[in-house]
Every structure is written in C-alpha cells, then in structure tokens.
Amino acid sequence: MNTPESQKILGRTLLEWFSSLPVFALLLLTLIIGTGEMVHGQLLKLGESMFGDSQAQVQYFMLRAEPVKPDCNANINVDAELAKQSAAPAAKAGGDDIDDLFGDQKATDPAVLRKSIEQALAICKSKHDIYNKVVQHQTQQVKAYRTLETSFFGLFQVGTDNRPLILLLMVAIAAITTTLGFHHIGIRPGHYTKDYLLQSISQVVSSGLLLLSCVRYYQILQGSGVPIEHPLIHYIWMTLFATLLLINLKRAIMPVKSPYGDGDWSGALLSIPLYAQMATVAGVYFLVKGHHAGLAIYINQLMELPSIFMNLGLFIWAGMLLKQSRIVDLFMNVLRPWKLSPQLLTYFILIGASFATAYTGASGIFVIAAGGIIYHEVRGSGGSRQFALAATAMSGSLGVVLRPCLLVVFIAALNKQVTSSGLYHWGFYVFLLTSTLFFLASQMLRTQRANIESLMVAVPAMIRQLVPLLPYVVLVVAIVAIYELALETKLNEITAPTIMPVLLILILVYDKVTNKGKAELTPDYASHRQDGVETSIRYATNETIGHIGALLSLMTLSLAMGGVIERSEVMGYFPKVFENHWTAMTFLVVTKVILGMIMDPFGAVVLVSGTLAPIAYANNIDPLHFWMMTLVAFELGYLLPPVALNQLLTRQVIGEEEVTEADKEVKHLGFYRRYERWILPLAVITVGLVVVSYGPLLIHDYPQLVFVKSWFPPATQ
C-alpha cells in the first residue's frame, strides 16, 4: 500500500502497531471461530472416550460442570405422603372458578395418587443415583480437562456471538488504513497532486453523508422507545466515518503533493474512489427523499450475514499468503518444458487459475494475488502485452462457478430455491464451456505457429520440475487429511474459508524455511516476496488490510446503491410477467450485465435476490438456470466499462506504466490488436453468456433437443 513512512518502534511502524496487529488478531479470531465448532466437537468426543463410563451410565457431558444435588426427598414414606395429599383437597375452603370449566371434579382416586407418588419417588431416587455417580467420577483429571474444553468453548462462543462486531472492527480499521494509503479502488489510481486532492474532497462529501445518516439512524432508534440492540455497532460506524471525514478534510485543506506534478482535472475525476461515488449518489438520493437514515440502514445489511464477509476477509488473506509463496512459480515451471505458444500456455494457466479462484473466494482476489505472475509468464512465452493483460483480467473470471467459491454459498444462503451443490454441479459445465471458448478463440486469433516441444524432451524435463513441487503437494494432502481424519471435516465450500488460510500459512512456513537464503529463486517480478516467515506473514497481512478496506468498502456501498434501486422502484416500470420466457430472459440478461458493470457481486446478489429473481420464477425460468446465468452475466459486467473491476485490478497489480506501454505498442495496428485486452475476454464471456442463457430455453421449447439432457448427469443434493 502507498502508506506514508513513519518512525519504527521495535521494528514496526505506528501504522503496523495500530492496524496490522489488530487486524491480524481479528483474522486469527475469525479462524478460531471457524475452527471452533469442529475442534470443540472433537474435544467432546475425546472427553467422552476418556471419562465416559457406559457401565455406570455416566457420559462426559454430565461431568462438564459441578453437579448440583437434587432437592427432592428420596426417603419419603409413600403411605404418609398419600394420606397427606388425600387430605389436602378437603382442607381447602373453596376452589378457583376456573375449575368449573371442567365440570364436577371428583375426589382423586387413591390408587392413581399412590402410583403418581411412587413414580415421583422413583424419578427422585434416579436423580440422586446419577448425582452420586457423577460426584464419584469428578476426578482431578476430569476437572483439568473440562477447564480446557469449556474455556475453548467460551472463547469460541464469545466469537460466535459477536461476529458482527468483529467484522465491523476489521472493516473500520482496514477502511481507515486504506484511506491513509490512497488505496481505494477507482477507475484510475491516484498519481498526481490533483488526483489526491479530488480523492480527498470526494471522500469528505461521502464521509459526511455517511456520518449524518448514521447519526440520524441512531437518533431514530433512540426515539423509538425500544432498547437499541448492539449500540456499540452504531458507535463504531459513527467513529469510523468521523475519522474518515477528519482525515480527508485535513488533506483537502492541506493537499498531498505528488512528485509527478499536478496532473489535470479530467484525469483526476477518474481517480475518485468508486465507494465514494456510490456513497454520494445514494446519500444525496436519500436526503432528497427525506429518508436521512437510509444510507445507514442499507450499509448495516453488512451485519446481517457477517460470516460471509468475515470469510471473504480470510480468503483475501489466503490470497496474499499465496502471493508470498512460490507455488504459482513451481506450477509454471512444470509447464515451461513444453514450450507452449502463449495462447495454449494461457489456456492451461486459466484452467489452474479457475480452481485457485474458487478456493480464494472471488475473482478479484485471485487477480490481486497471482495476476503479476500470470502476466509475466504469458509475456515470457512470447505473448504480446495486450494478450497478457487479457489473460490476467480473465484469470479470475472462469472459476466463480466452481466449488467452493464463496459467492455461490452467498446465493444459496439468500435463496431457498437453490442449493450450493446444485449450483456447483451446473457451474462445472459452465466452466467447461467458457474455458473451451477461450481456447478456441485464442487459437483462431493466433498469429504464430504453435511449436510444442517433443515428448522425448518435454516429459523428462517436466518430471524434473515436478520434483520440487511434490513436497508442497504432499503437505497439502497431509493437512487436508488431518482435517478430515482428526477433525472429521472435509474441505468444501463451508470449511474452505477456515482451512485455506491455515493451509497456506503452513505452506508458506515450509517454503521460507526450505528456501532460506536462496534469493535467486525469486524472479524480478516477485520482488514483493519477503525472506523470513514472520516478515512474509506480516507483509501479507499488510496487503490484506488494504484489499479488505478497498473491497469491503465497495461492497458495503454497493448495498446502499442496491437500496437506491430498490426504493426508487425502477423495477416497477418493467412487467413482472413477460409474453414468453425468451423475452423475460433477454430482459434479465441485460439487467444483470448492467448491475455487474456498476456493483460488486455480493451487493448485486442481495439486490437481485429481492427484485429480479421473483421475475424469473414468475416466468417459469428454472432457479438454477437463472442463477447460473446471473453469475456469468456478472462476470461479463466486471469486464465492461465504466467500472470493469477485473480490468481495474489488473492495472493495479501490473502497474500503470506497463498498461500504458501496452497501448503504445499497438497504436499503429488494427482495431482488434489495439483493444485485444478488452475484446478477447468480452467475446469469450459474451458467447458463454448467450449459450448459458438461451441454451436451456431451446431444449425446453424444442422436444427434438431433449436428448441433450442425457449428456449431463443430475445434480446430487
């Protein structure tokens, strides 16, 4: 991040002490929360195996706390108690009028009463018997073990109960750090003095609107007469936006000077953070409508599903840890002996990147983590800068439909009509479609012969390059096996956010320990990699903070933009039921692409779930079909202006100078070559979207095509 230099204390800057360390602790706490349930389950099983006594019918859960002696009398005389209870009704002076509802009440049958007393006595004796057995089993070993188990459960439970607070603290610290480093996402990164000035002014306006809305929301809640739930959440929101307001107000009054000059205002407009633009548009809309608390209400939707966004933070961390390791380099070393053409090499890279994208949460995260390596590998194989930029932008696009991508889990959580297993099932076929389309497109557009190395030369060289990769593969298999065998937890869409950071931390430790001092193993384009374990994790955490602040700020304000679209009732201008499902599908496709152009995926999913999904269902469009189309449409939107998020992130990781050089390199060539980095990804995803959107409708409407269904096995639920 572009954070200012400051004096170091114990080898750390003040920003690292007040930003990196707290966020690192929150990320670890999030890991503990995610791991807590699986670990605690095993602790309970271990406690049962160690201290449970099946013969005495004592189980470990009975020993988890000090036993309480039953207050019933196990030595009562049945005859005496029977006489006492039989005499009790006669001693009553009268009865309750409610007794009349049941008609005349006869005296209790002595036989029934005796049986009742005997049953109560038996239950009481059983309680005392269990109590005595539990007391006998309360050994020092039990007390020591249960202290460990219940302490862990307490920590896990506190974290679970306070997920929204943990998420908000993480977002607040990251947002402030990102603002200090001018790291927020804009169409063009800040470079000149006017860029930084306009960024600061725009954030003064957005922060002021957000602060005003949060204050008004809190005042409304206070005036409602109902106790405010989690008031600390509101205090943190207000403190966050007040801090951002002060930071940017100071910078607007005392502008940051750039060594590159003043720049121009037209370029500065492109550097305004996207979150600030969204906050300003939404804030002004709600002010005009008199709904002053609207902005605060919609950004608080972030707290409704805290686990999803906390997991996103873990995935970002995993991506940055991946960036510090040599795994991607080692994978590329296996491919190099084949001397593949840039197009064929890119195809294999995208295949591998798609699975990595699925395991790092979302498309943008993988572009940030591995985009630089992919770009330089494609360039090294002879690919043009434009083609390498296209490959980098697409590296995060194909895997969002694969297991265990977090976006699919989010869709399934908000929509009961679909399941994550069904979406992943059909997502795999969508992935095959789009990856094959890219391969065909790249081969048709190839300008040089594809000279693949002979098997006799390539295979031995590839095997030699596999040797350094094997320890990493063994380590991955071992860690996954430990989770599955020791914790009975498989790596899937639910557990991936917890397992992946642990996996990558251990891989990073192995990588740094075994390659210590071997600077030649780190290529020039990976100069960001640190030497030691601690410095690598610290560097990865610092990068994580910047990306959490940038991405979650964008996602949070996308929720507010979704609120503007929802409250403006713009969707009401369109029919709920169309004349046929072809027209309905066309409307939905266009709408989804537009949403993908201006919103982040998570915010767009919230909006679509409440507005457009019901239209699809009303027009007899299968929910699975609808959401698969939505995912592909979003990916197309992320490649299209005005935002083009994946293209923006590509510029960010490759560098503005390299992108400028790519444009200069082809300015004398034809239209396609000049805009290849835009046209190639758009063409592939557009064709894929057309097939995904209208292919199932063709099969539905034309019986002669029904045989196509037999090509695809049904999804397992």
Of 501, 520, 548, which closes a domain? 548
Q: What is the pLDDT of residue 710?
A: 75
Residues 170 and 262 in one domain: yes
CA separation for the pair 41, 36 (Å, rounded): 8
Is residue 355 a part of any domain in this protein?
Answer: yes
- DSSP string spanning 262-311? ---HHHHHHTSBHHHHHHHHHHHHHHHTT-TTHHHHHHGGGGTSHHHHHH
Q: How many CB atoms lie within 10 A of CB 640?
A: 21
Write the DSSP symbol of residue 522: S
* Residues 6 or more apart in contact with residue 359 via CB below 8 angstroms: 318, 404, 496, 500
Intervals of the chain under pLDDT 50:
1-4, 90-94, 98, 101-106, 717
Residue ending a domain, choose from 268, 303, 338: 303
Answer yes or no: do 229 and 329 share one domain. no
| 352 and 392 co-located in one domain | yes
β-pairing, 8-9 vs 12-13, is antiparallel
- Measured CA to CA, the distance from residue 705 to residue 312 in angstroms comes to 41
Q: Which helix (H) or strand (E) holds 95?
A: none
Domain that holds residue 202: 164-303
**Residue 248 included in any domain:** yes
Residues 537 and 605 in one domain: no
Inter-CA distances, 324 with 215, 327, 531, 615, Å: 42, 9, 9, 45
> Is 575 in the same domain as 529?
no
User: How far is residue 363's CA from residue 384's CA, in Å, rounded to a whole number?
Assistant: 23
698 and 562 in a common domain: yes
**pLDDT tens digit string along 579-590?**
899 999 999 999
Radius of gyration of the chain (CA): 31
For the segment 525-574, what is each residue's pLDDT rounded down to a tens digit?
Answer: 666 788 889 889 999 999 899 889 988 998 899 989 989 988 888 877 88
CA dist 509 and 487 (Å) reads 22
pLDDT at 609: 92
- The domain boundary residue, chosen from 548, 567, 591: 548
Global pTM value: 0.82
The DSSP output letter for 9 is E
State the pLDDT at residue 3: 47
Residues 540 and 566 in one domain: no
| Domain shared by 690 and 623, yes or no | yes
- Widest pairwise Cα distance in the chain: 111
Residue 40 lies in a domain: no
Distance CA 89, CA 107 (A): 8
* Whether residue 256 sits in one domain with residue 334: no
* Dihedral sign for Cα atoms in the order 366, 372, 373, 376: positive
Angle at 265 between CA 260 and CA 267, to 5 degrees: 70
Structure tokens given for 423: 């979406």
Task: Domain count for the chain, please give it.
Answer: 3
Vertex 246: Cα angle to 242 and 251 (nearest 5): 150
